[in-house]
Amino acid sequence: MSASREDEIRFERLFRDNYQRLYLYALDWVEDEEQAKDIVGTLMSDLWAQRDTWHPDNEVAYMYGALRNRCISHLKKNVRYRETLEEYLEEKLRLIDEDINVHEENLARMEQIMESLSPRTRLIVEKCYLEGRKYKEVAELLDTTPGMIHKHISKALAIFRKKFLHRGGTD
């Protein structure tokens, strides 16, 4: 496989694995869905353009830092909507730092719960929720009925609810 194709595959995985989290992080900052999408999209586009020279030690941490800087720049450009930008940014930073810790804890718990599901249920949850496929489509793919897909999803959601209500999450 050529280096260019390897870069493309690596970057596509990096994008796919992190887009939703980066989008939500940007949304926390700018509080506008379209602006958050634009900022994340521009960041990813710029990183793709720099792929030959972009090799940080921790790509995800770098992306969060770059995204945070871009969000702050965006807010500074729109300062007319904020009476005191510094106070706003300080408070926003404090809240986001608190929220990101809770968010990361929840993501870790969700991954742990996903790993505890049976392989078939986990596959169905991934196809329906992570890939956004319809029950009928997943049923055809797995040679089963939409009703069986619904049963697996219901079972998984009950497990998620139970483990999130019982904050321990390991029972």
Closest CA to 38 of 26, 25, 21: 26
Q: Is the pLDDT of residue 171 over 70?
A: no
pLDDT tens-place string over residues 99-122 = 777 878 888 888 899 999 999 999
What are the distances in angstroms from CA 98 to CA 2, 22, 77? 43, 16, 25
Per-residue pLDDT, averaged over 3-31, amounts to 86
Residue 133 has pLDDT above 70, yes or no: yes
- For range 110-135, the mean pLDDT: 91
pLDDT band at 80 (very low <50, low <70, confident <90, very high): low
> What pTM did the predictor assign?
0.48
Query: Is residue 74 within 8 Å of residue 36, measured between CB atoms?
Result: no
pLDDT of residue 83: 58
Per-residue pLDDT at 24 exceeds 70: yes
Give percent of the chain with pLDDT exceeding 70.
91
pLDDT at 169 over 60: no
Q: How far apart are the first and last CA of the chain?
A: 45
Query: Residue 138: how many CB atoms within 10 A of its CB?
Result: 22
Position 130 pLDDT exceeds 60:
yes
